[in-house]
A and B are shown apart, each in its own frame.
Chain A
Amino acid sequence: MAPPRSFLWTRRIVLTLLALFALTPVYVMITSSLKNLQDVQGAFRWLPDGLTIRPYLDIWHTVPLARYFLNSLIVAGCATVCSVTVAVLAAYAVSRYSFRGRRFFTVTVLSTQMFPGILFLLPLFLIFVNIGNSTGVALYGSRGGLILTYLTFSLPFAVWMLVGYFDSIPRELDEAATVDGCGPLGALWRVVVPAAVPGIVAVSVYAFMTAWGEVLFASVMTDDTTRTLAVGLQGYASQTDVHWNQVMAASLVVSVPVVAGFLLLQRYLVAGLTAGAVK
């Protein structure tokens, strides 16, 4: 049964406006990144007068963007692998076994998820500085230290989502595998993990995206050599003369990998979020 015309028109108008709202910054980002410096410093124009790719060449010299890129890649990658691996094991235990303290564990993990990052920032900063002073292990300013702080938000989320996802996989599957001679870890590895691939991909994408975009810890816990993109990009803007075309070009360059990855894997993400949150 076709919806009435008035509904169709409302739908067209509302969705067009929303799409404009969603995409205007992307349009500004792309067009401004192709403008000359005079053009971006003058009054805004929707259509650029002339196009240039100079900003894309200059961004690598104005700030050490390549190094920031590498740092972000290492930190976000390690934080993702670490949190997902640990979370798979923990979520399997929570989903498949009943043991003393299970409820306590889940409640703790779930409640830490709601805590603001600022709450952990001060103590972690202090602990890192003090460990560095007393043992010489440089956590403050190191990539390892930053990775550790990123686990504060990626690990609880990964555990929460994966428990939900594992619960939706029938127990009979891994029980059958155990009967066929698999150990519990074998059952996890051969049956549960393959069946949970969409959930694991979703959690990984999410963990990577949040780590890639994290600003708070990155701005406190890094030094010149370990700075990530989140802090590095502000380097263009804090100079007296803001090269907005370069800022936009750099923003676009650092966005492409995650946006492309996200759009490619969005099906998994929707499926994973559905299993974890929508039940």
Chain B
Amino acid sequence: MTARLRRIGLPYLLLLPALALELLIHLVPMAVGVAMSFKELTQFFIRDWNAAPWSGLANFRIAVDLDAPVGQALLRSFGVTCAFTVLAVGLSWLLGTVAAILMQDRFRGRGLLRTAFLVPYALPVYAAVITWSFMFQRDNGMVNHLLHDQLGLTADPPFWLIGDHSFAALVTVTVWRTFPFAFLILTAALQNVPRELYEAAAMDGAGIRQQIRRITLPSLRPVNQVLVLVLFLWTFNDFNTPYVLFGRSVPEAADLISVHIYQASFVTWNFGAGSAMSVLLLLFLLVVTAAYLLVTSRRERGPRKARGPRGRRPARV
């Protein structure tokens, strides 16, 4: 009897630490976060948030009121974040794919190149991004030295960390940090493509281009579905890169949503409004992710069928 009980209880026992932690670090904070968004939680109530008065939907109304500065700023930040995400994920994915495909065959120096591509991924964010912010300095930075002094591409050396150029600077740094991850994952995926496929295709007279189009890209598709979603979530939610690159004065053109909510909460100490924005952000991410998973899984279900020896596939992201 005890043995039977132990057998049934064991999985729960194994899960217990994880469950306790999940409750502590995810579920309770989420519940508190949602509750906060319905409260008038200003600096006076930080020390005891239970004392803050309920305010109903007021925080949400402020966040989405496009006639008021808060709502306008949030919408602009959302727009910047969307444009930034599309551009940065697209470029990272493209560079990662190109690098992975070009390095599929063995050649001299491949290991060295691979290491070179992985370095941006391995460097701690703040160390790498601080270096970029040095390179983007107007007067003593490397970027203006190269573009203005050496190549003569710009009439005046531009400011990169303030004004509209900051968007380009942010995209550059993000792509630099992210493409190695795409490269890493896609390289791993390409290792699973049997060489015989290429040999057979070459026998049938397929050129390199056709081989890439007919064999390489299709075999990457399942991985790409996960990869693009992960890149999207990381990039859309990125706080570290803009925060380290620009410091506390983030330019409007590069005001990503995470930093925006952070500033709205900790600079003005209005936690209620900040929480309302977080909840809206979460809803948006849930909808996008659900839609994405629905679309990709429907496409996948078509011709391809059961996979894996046990018929159960580890859940995707």
Question: Which of B8, B140, B227, B266 makes the CB contact (< 8 A) with A244?
Answer: B140
Least distance between A149 CB and chain B CB atoms (Å): 7
Q: Classify chain B: how many residues form its interface, as a range.
A: 35 or more
B239 A149 Cβ-Cβ under 8 A: no
Would A148 and B11 be within 8 Å (CB), given that A15-B102, A124-B29, A233-B127 are in contact?
no
1/0 per position for A14-33, CB-CB distance to B under 8 A? Answer: 11001101111110110010
Identify which of A19, A25, A107, A230 contacts B126 (C-beta below 8 A): A230
Task: Knowing A1-B202, A117-B258, say if A86 contacts B18 (CB, 8 Å).
Answer: yes
- Which residue from chain B places its CB closest to the CB of A88 in the assembled complex? B14
A41 shortest CB reach to chain B, Å: 6
Contact B48 A159 (CB under 8 A): no
Q: Are B125 and A215 in contact (CB under 8 A)?
A: yes
Residues of B within 8 A of A151 (CB): 21, 25
Interface residue stretch chosen among B59-67, B69-77, B113-121, B295-303: B113-121
Decide: A92 and B262 in contact? CB cutoff 8 A: no
Q: Are B25 and A43 in contact (CB under 8 A)?
A: no
A62 contacts chain B at the CB level, 8 A cutoff: no
| Cβ distance B276 to chain A, nearest Cβ, rounded Å | 10
Closest to A23 in B: B116
Asked if B117 contacts A212 (CB within 8 A), the reply is no
**B162, CB-defined interface residue at 8 Å:** no
Minimum CB–CB distance from A168 to chain B (whole Å) comes to 9
Query: When chains A and B are docked, how far (Å) is the Cα of A120 from the Cα of B313?
Result: 30
> B282 interface residue, CB < 8 Å from A?
yes
In contact, A122 and B271 (Cβ under 8 angstroms): yes
Q: How far is the CB of B286 from chain A (nearest CB, A)?
A: 8
Within 8 A of A (CB), among B33-68: 33, 36, 41, 46-50
Residues of B within 8 A of A122 (CB): 33, 36, 265, 271, 274-275, 278
Check A259 against B315 for contact (C-beta < 8 Å): no
State in angstroms the CA–CA spacing of A263 and B111 once bound together. Answer: 11
Given contacts A15-B102, A130-B48, A215 and B243 within 8 Å (CB-CB): yes
Q: For window 242-259 of chain B, which residues contact chain A by CB distance below 8 Å? A: 243-244, 247, 258
Whether B28 sits at the interface, judged by CB under 8 Å, is: yes
Chain B 256-287: CB-based contact to A (< 8 A → 1; otherwise 0): 00100110011000010011001001100100
Give the docked Cα–Cα distance between A132 and B249 (Å): 31
A240 close to B (CB within 8 Å): no
B164 interface residue per 8 A CB criterion: no
Contacts of B83 in A (CB 8 A): none
Is A121 positioned at the interface, with any CB of B under 8 Å from its CB? yes
- Point out the residue from A3, A148, A269 that lies within 8 Å of B105, measured CB to CB: A3
Tell me the smallest distance from the CB of B8 to a CB of chain A, in Å. 8
A32-B134, A118-B237 are contacts. A86–B17 as well, Cβ < 8 Å?
A: yes
Q: Is A175 an interface residue (CB 8 A)?
A: no
Chain A hits for B285, CB < 8 A: 114-116
Cβ-defined partner of A106 (8 Å) among B50, B266, B310, B315 = B315
- Assembly CA distance A230 to B237 (angstroms): 18
Question: CB of B165 within 8 A of chain A?
Answer: no
A117 to B29, CA, bound (A): 11
- Our pick among B46, B107, B227, B281 for the contact of A126 (Cβ within 8 Å) is B46
Please report the C-alpha to C-alpha distance between residue A92 and residue B25 in the assembled complex, in whole angstroms.
Answer: 21
| Residue of B142, B184, B243, B317 touching A44 (CB-CB under 8 A) | B142
Partner of B18, one of A10, A44, A159, A277: A159
User: In whole Å, how far is B132's beta carbon from the nearest beta carbon of chain A?
Assistant: 6
Interface residues on A, range: 35 or more
A134 CB to nearest chain B CB (Å): 8
A28 in contact with B134 given A114-B233, A129-B46, A133-B47 (CB within 8 Å): yes
Contact in complex: A15, B103 (CB < 8 Å): yes
Residue-wise, chain B 5-34 has the 8 Å CB interface mask toward A (1 for contact) of 000101110110111011011111110110
- Does B87 count as interface, using CB distance less than 8 angstroms? no
Question: For the complex, what is the distance from the CA of A230 to the CA of B226, rounded to whole Å?
Answer: 29
Bound-state CA distance A273–B237 (Å) is: 22
Q: B26: which of A121, A126, A152, A215 is its contact (CB, 8 Å)?
A: A152
- For B266, the chain A residues whose CB sits under 8 A away are 220
Answer yes or no: B192 CB below 8 A from chain A CBs: yes
Min distance, Cβ A16 to any Cβ of chain B, angstroms: 9
Question: Shortest beta-carbon distance, A25 to chain B, in Å?
Answer: 5
Chain A 100-121 per-residue mask, 1 if CB under 8 angstroms from chain B, else 0: 0010011111101111111111
B291 within 8 A of A: no
Extra contacts besides A15-B103, A29-B131, A252-B127 (11): CB < 8 Å: A19-B116, A118-B239, A118-B278, A119-B282, A121-B262, A122-B33, A130-B49, A167-B312, A215-B239, A229-B126, A259-B122
Closest 9 A/B residue pairs (Cβ):
A116-B237, A90-B18, A251-B127, A262-B122, A93-B14, A44-B145, A123-B29, A123-B32, A97-B11
The residues of A with any CB-CB pair to B shorter than 8 Å are: 1, 3-4, 7, 10-11, 14-15, 18-19, 21-26, 28-29, 32, 40-46, 85-87, 89-90, 92-94, 97, 99, 102, 105-110, 112-124, 126-127, 129-130, 133, 148-149, 151-152, 155, 159-160, 163-164, 167, 184, 209, 212-216, 219-220, 229-230, 233-234, 237-238, 244, 247-248, 250-252, 254-255, 258-259, 262-263, 266, 269-270, 273-274, 276-279
